[in-house]
Amino acid sequence: MLVTALSFIFVLGVLIFIHELGHFIVAKRVGIRVETFSLGFPPTIASKKYGETTYALGIIPLGGYVKMAGENPDDKMVGAPDEFMSKSVAQRAAVIFAGPFMNYLLAIVILIGVFYFTGRPIFDESHVIVGQVVEGDPAYKAGLKTGDQIVSLDGKVINNYDSLRFAIYSHKDRPLTLSWLHDGDTMSARITPRIETVPNAEGGIDSIGMIGFSEKILGYHKFGLWESAKRGFVTAHVIVYETVLFVKKFAFGEVSPKLIGGPIFIAQQSGREAEKGPSNLFFFMALLSVNLAILNVLPIPILDGGHLVFLAAEKIKGSPLSMKTRAIAQQVGLIFLLFLIVFVTYNDILRAFKGF
């Protein structure tokens, strides 16, 4: 529980800080007065003012914000040169876009670091060697040990972990015969997989068989800095592509909304990845960072993408949208965001109770 909580705070804290830092740096760069830089939402735990900016730490770790002078429709504006609305459309767009862009860059940097400092895991390509065995699961009860070599499944020779894994998935309702080598001796056992439920793309639940062991990692192949940079860059863009594809499918009703995770899911998954090791946690952070970047550029009022739409309309129209229009759009966006938070939290609770 402690690992989960600390991992969740660490992951979200870094992602939010980097996002808001992007807004902050570009705002200062173009001469906008930043009144507040907050990591977390109020109530405020601590705050300190340096120069013209108050730096705050909020008790709710689900976001943060950079409050710029003259940014909100209800702010009193005097037309001072350091107000947000006094800057050009291009400058304001740069400030808004900087947050998601920093999350995008962070994902690339993290992935480069994972390839450089950890590398790619090495597995036995011609044998299936047992790694971690989950205590209490069918494989553990059958006597399977770390370092054992899987020989066959139901009499069929096995030399590939993925083929073994998928074959076990299909044995959800019937026992299987597994044979393996242990210290040179051939062992065999009749094992009935436990049934695990997983969500599918239609929003339903699939059942698969699991016996509870992973493939042994023999070592890691580390890459040089240049190769790590290439692999990190490519991997980040694969994640971008998959994320955009999911958003597209979600928008057209091709995948179920039940697949969307919220804060509870992120917390649970952060804990799981942390237990696997730092590289797994950082890879998960890179994945979330890309998701946060793409979510924020969606054309939804109150999100960065919504603000960019306002600026595009202003550029076309030749003047800012009216205060009333912006205020109404912000309210609609806030209602939508609150609904989304409630919905994903509901999904998370269902996942917790249904065990997937």
Mind listing the pLDDT tens digit for each residue in 282-293?
Answer: 999 999 999 999
Among 20, 71, 83, 215, which one carries the catalytic annotation? 20
Task: Provide the percentage of residues in the chain whose pLDDT is more than 90.
Answer: 52
pLDDT at position 199 over 70:
no
pLDDT at residue 348 greater than cutoff 70:
no
**How big, in percent rounded to 5, are the helix, strand and coil portions of the chain?**
50, 25, 25
pLDDT per residue as tens digits for the range 165-198: 999 988 877 899 999 999 989 999 999 999 887 7
Distance between CA atoms of residues 310 and 326, nearest Å: 8
| CATH 3.40.50.20 fits domain 122-219 | no
- Reduce the DSSP state of residue 153 to 3 states and report it: strand
Provide CB contacts within 8 A for 324, sequence distance 6+. none
What is the pLDDT averaged over residues 216-232? 94
Between the ranges 203-212, 217-226, 329-338, where is the mean pLDDT highest? Answer: 217-226
Tokens representing residue 287 in the block = 């994945």
Q: Please give the pLDDT value at position 97.
A: 96
Query: Is pLDDT of 34 > 80?
Result: yes
Q: Confidence class of residue 352 from pLDDT cuts 50, 70 and 90?
A: low
The C-alpha atoms of residue 118 and residue 221 are separated, in whole angstroms, by 8
- 């040990």: which residue's tokens? 145
Higher pLDDT, 277 or 90: 90
Residue 57: band (very low, low, confident or very high) from pLDDT cuts 50, 70, 90:
very high
Residue 13 or 347, more confident:
13
- For residues 311 and 87, what is the distance between their CA atoms, to the nearest angstrom? 12
Helices 2-29 and 89-113, packing angle to 10 deg: 140
End-to-end distance of the chain based on CA atoms, in angstroms? 17
Of 34-48, 236-250, 309-323, 342-356, which range is least confident? Answer: 342-356
Lowest mean pLDDT among 48-57, 69-78, 221-230, 276-285: 69-78
Domain ranges of the chain: 2-119+257-354, 122-219
In this prediction, residue 347 has a pLDDT band, given cuts at 50, 70 and 90, of low
Q: Report residue 216 as tokens.
A: 């042994």
Q: State yes or no: is 314 an active-site residue.
A: no
Longest CA–CA span in the chain (Å) reads 84
DSSP letters spanning 59-89: EEEEEEEEEETT-STTS-----TTSGGGS-H
pLDDT at 18 over 60: yes
- Asked if residue 245 lies in contact with residue 239, where contact means CB atoms within 8 angstroms, the answer is no
DSSP helix/strand/coil, 275? helix
pLDDT in the model for residue 356: 47
Overall size of the chain counted in residues: 356
